[in-house]
Amino acid sequence: MLRCHTPPQCGRAPLRHHGTRELPPAAAAPGVVVRCARGAPQVSGIEAASPGHAAAATAAAAKAERGDARPSLAERLRLGSLLEDGLSYKESFIVRCYEVGINKTATVETIANLLQEVGCSHAQSLGFSTDGFATTTSMRKLGLIWVTNRMHIEIYKYPAWGDVVEIETWCQADGRIGTRRDWILKDLANGEVIGRATSKWVTMNQNTRRLQRVSDDVRDEVFIHCPKTPRLAFPEENNGSLKKIPNLSDPAQYSRLGLVPRRADLDMNQHVNNVTYIGWVLESIPQDIIDTHELQTITLDYRRECQYDDIVDSLTNIEEREEKSMNGSASAAPHKEERQQFLHCLRFAANGDEINRGRTVRESPQAAAPGVVVRCARGAPQVPGIEAASPGHAAATAAKAEGGDARPSLAERLRLGSLLEDGLSYKESFIMRCYEVGINKTATIETIANLLQEVGCNHAQSVGFSTDGFATTTTMRKLGLIWVTNRMHIEIYKYPAWGDVVEIETWCQEDGRIGTRRDWILKDLANGEVIGRATSKWVMMNQNTRRLQRVSDDVRDEVFIHCPKTPRLAFPEENNGSLKKIPNLSDPAQYSRLGLVPRRADLDMNQHVNNVTYIGWVLESIPQDIIDTHELQTITLDYRRECQHDDIVDSLTYIEEGEEKSMNGSASAAPHKEEQQQQFLHCLRFAANGDEINRGRTVWRKLAR
């Protein structure tokens, strides 16, 4: 059986103390939808499609009345729009490198997030405002919000990094109790349907947390724009989206006990977001099924909310298969080893109350075609300085032509990025997606780190380098060498919100004899303001022995020939924070979060924890009063050891005395310690032997209220 690797003493593993832009609310149009935070109650059927362009015109009029008739920058750049009849919305998404998993294809969590994002964009395209609950005027007066009741997703073919997925969505009335939203997913390159999904939503009283029937007033506001004739993503009779999920009987055949929410799992109301439950359900799938089958169908019925202090058990039983596919069409029953069905239950460890129940269907994938492309996995060793900018567009074009791929890919043609004219750096713009923002209603630091990785990967691709997840040269592959992160330093001066557009410029260069470095500058595309900077250092490691190795002359010739001759630094200031040494954290720590356990979604394609997960773990031991009153300004991490799925990790934190200089090295008046700025030292270490995994430093600034 799968069991949680949490030590016996830490049922919950709580934080322990050992010692010493939100947009101003606009006048709400009927069927209002608000800014959606990561994991905020997702956009439900309330954003129903209008019955034609008249509704779109009405939406435009509503925006004009509020003084925002001109489309936002995000709306102008987004690859989506209402269809001609105004009854549905389509948007295309390029799958990012960090959104794929151990199978080198997009994870089901990625799919669920994109479904949420296209729903948010649909609402925005109709002119609705966004507050995270998709409430109408009557709903707000009555204190009602929408909550998910059921989610059903079927994936026939998973997209890989760089694939372009087109998602169409619409919504409609669903009886007297609520609403539903449907989606169809296609491969934009060939129009093939690769997935479908549907969801059901009900109204809940925000104060009593009890479900409530949709009143006539709310129905008039919500469903006036819904199609009169139902349109279903799953029109088949007895399809899997309608199939009842039975209760899971004890004892379960497989279990993963003691799952605990992380801060990154929480929505802006301090509840666990819907997508996290998907990952928790999959935690109790047996490993041999994970290794040999891929998820085709998942259905979840949501029953109770989960909060930060809860402990969750994930239980799984094998369900006997049926003679019909989950979409209801007749098919020959595959061999048992080719298809497996499971029943699932998430429940509170404390009292056994059911949080949700689910069903999954997994099938053994077909044999890969010859010449399969190795794709970048979520958290794969991120693209380091090896993807150095070529000394001009001619070199990049020649490299691609030599490889037989001179014509740009669909993703390259649609992507909002390109090499700069001198060919020495790369810029790309990203629209902040609704699920990428957190409890402060702005992008999380994990989102920023992921985007830095994505722009590095796209830089590499733009200069014609192949992408295998390790950014290796010919000589490196012969010698079994890869790049690994040694240090990451990020400073954020202003966090972007959902719908903001961030422009990121990146370049890389030689860094002494031991490795390479990559730098980034982040700007608000709307006004050109620099909102952040980052730098990283990478060293070479033997993939088999896992030992560091000096960069040889042959590798240097391959890697650094395209690097700028004159160093260009994101942090040119003398004694800047990116260079500052991080001291060892002595025992006992002032704050700790013990017993952190990796999830499958945290692993890269080599079954190691990805770099961004460490950032979240470090922040787990920050005291809650700092989280409530401050926001992260600077984070520096030194990576020392790898962590795998079976490891248990302790997160330790110390208060560090402030300095008279800001972290970017420029002189500034020292802020009042308790009021404006707090500095902390951090250490992640293995619970079993105390060996250090990484050490870090964070600087927090007071939130402006």
Q: What is the DSSP letter of 116?
A: H
> Distance (Å, rounded) from C-alpha 693 to C-alpha 561?
33
According to the model, what pLDDT value does residue 131 have?
A: 63
- Number of Cβ within a 10 Å radius of residue 83: 12
The ranges of the chain annotated as CATH 3.10.129.10 are: 72-235, 246-324+337-365, 415-579, 583-657+675-704
Residues 515/569, Cβ–Cβ less than 8 Å: no
For residue 18, pLDDT over 60 is answered with no
Q: Which two tokens stand for residue 650?
A: 């302790």
For residue 686, pLDDT over 60 is answered with yes
Burial of 637-666, coded b for 16+ CB within 10 Å and e otherwise, reads bbbeeebeeebbbbbbbbbbeeeeebbbbe
- Number of Cβ within a 10 Å radius of residue 518: 29
Residues 316/262, Cβ–Cβ less than 8 Å: no
According to the model, what pLDDT value does residue 321 have?
A: 62
- Specify the pTM: 0.83
Q: Which two tokens stand for residue 653?
A: 């934190």
Residues 203/213, Cβ–Cβ less than 8 Å: yes
Which CATH class for the 415-579 domain? alpha beta
Smallest CA-to-CA distance from 570 within 661, 663, 659, 447 is with: 663
For residue 428, pLDDT over 90 is answered with yes
Residues 448/489, Cβ–Cβ less than 8 Å: no
According to the model, what pLDDT value does residue 87 have?
A: 83
- Confidence label for 146 from pLDDT (cuts 50, 70 and 90): confident
> Distance (Å, rounded) from C-alpha 396 to C-alpha 352?
59
**397: alpha, beta or left? (left if phi > 0; alpha if psi -120 to 50):** alpha
Helices (H), 622-687: 624-629
- Confidence label for 171 from pLDDT (cuts 50, 70 and 90): confident
Q: At what angle do helices 274-283 and 108-125 cross, to 10 degrees?
A: 170
For residue 29, pLDDT over 80 is answered with no
Could you report the per-residue pLDDT of 646-668, keeping only the tens digit for each?
999 999 999 997 654 444 443 33
For residue 531, pLDDT over 80 is answered with yes
> Distance (Å, rounded) from C-alpha 73 to C-alpha 92?
17
> Distance (Å, rounded) from C-alpha 131 to C-alpha 136?
11
The whole-chain average pLDDT of the chain stands at 79
Smallest CA-to-CA distance from 276 within 356, 197, 333 is with: 356
For residue 6, pLDDT over 60 is answered with no
- Confidence label for 69 from pLDDT (cuts 50, 70 and 90): low
For residue 402, pLDDT over 80 is answered with no
For residue 544, pLDDT over 90 is answered with no
* H or E stretch at 292: helix 287-292
Residue that wins the pLDDT comparison between 16 and 696: 696
> Distance (Å, rounded) from C-alpha 679 to C-alpha 689?
27
- Confidence label for 674 from pLDDT (cuts 50, 70 and 90): low
Cβ neighbours of residue 122 under 8 Å, at least 6 residues apart?
A: 43, 47, 49, 82, 88, 89, 91, 169, 170, 171
* Four-residue CA torsion sign, 124, 127, 131, 135: negative
- Confidence label for 470 from pLDDT (cuts 50, 70 and 90): low
- Give the residue numbers annotated as catalytic, written as ranges: 606, 608, 643
Which CATH class for the 246-324+337-365 domain? alpha beta
Give the CATH H-level superfamily of domain 72-235.
Hotdog Thioesterase (3.10.129.10)
Task: Provide the CATH topology of domain 583-657+675-704.
Answer: Thiol Ester Dehydrase; Chain A (3.10.129)
For residue 632, pLDDT over 60 is answered with yes
- Confidence label for 430 from pLDDT (cuts 50, 70 and 90): very high
- Confidence label for 37 from pLDDT (cuts 50, 70 and 90): very low
Query: C-alpha distances in angstroms, 334 versus 194, 343, 362, 497?
Result: 20, 19, 12, 47
* Four-residue CA torsion sign, 632, 636, 638, 644: positive
Could you report the per-residue pLDDT of 495-516, keeping only the tens digit for each?
999 899 999 999 988 887 778 8
Average pLDDT for residues 468-484, to the nearest whole number? 78
> Distance (Å, rounded) from C-alpha 123 to C-alpha 379?
32
- Confidence label for 12 from pLDDT (cuts 50, 70 and 90): very low
Does residue 201 sit in helix, strand or coil? strand
Residues 664/491, Cβ–Cβ less than 8 Å: yes
According to the model, what pLDDT value does residue 14 have?
A: 45
Could you report the per-residue pLDDT of 338-360, keeping only the tens digit for each?
889 999 999 999 999 999 999 99
For residue 387, pLDDT over 60 is answered with no
Residues 384/516, Cβ–Cβ less than 8 Å: yes
- Confidence label for 142 from pLDDT (cuts 50, 70 and 90): confident
- Choice among 36-40, 288-292, 569-573 with the minimum mean pLDDT: 36-40
For residue 157, pLDDT over 60 is answered with yes
According to the model, what pLDDT value does residue 83 have?
A: 86
- CA dihedral defined by 169, 173, 175, 177, rounded to 10 degrees? 90
Residue that wins the pLDDT comparison between 311 and 482: 311
For residue 450, pLDDT over 50 is answered with yes
According to the model, what pLDDT value does residue 399 have?
A: 43
Smallest CA-to-CA distance from 218 within 199, 200, 202, 198 is with: 202
> Distance (Å, rounded) from C-alpha 627 to C-alpha 424?
39
Could you report the per-residue pLDDT of 189-240, keeping only the tens digit for each?
999 999 999 999 888 888 888 888 888 888 887 777 777 788 999 988 778 8
Residue that wins the pLDDT comparison between 443 and 547: 443
Residues 321/333, Cβ–Cβ less than 8 Å: yes
Query: C-alpha distances in angstroms, 510 versus 389, 423, 630?
Result: 12, 16, 36
For residue 175, pLDDT over 60 is answered with yes
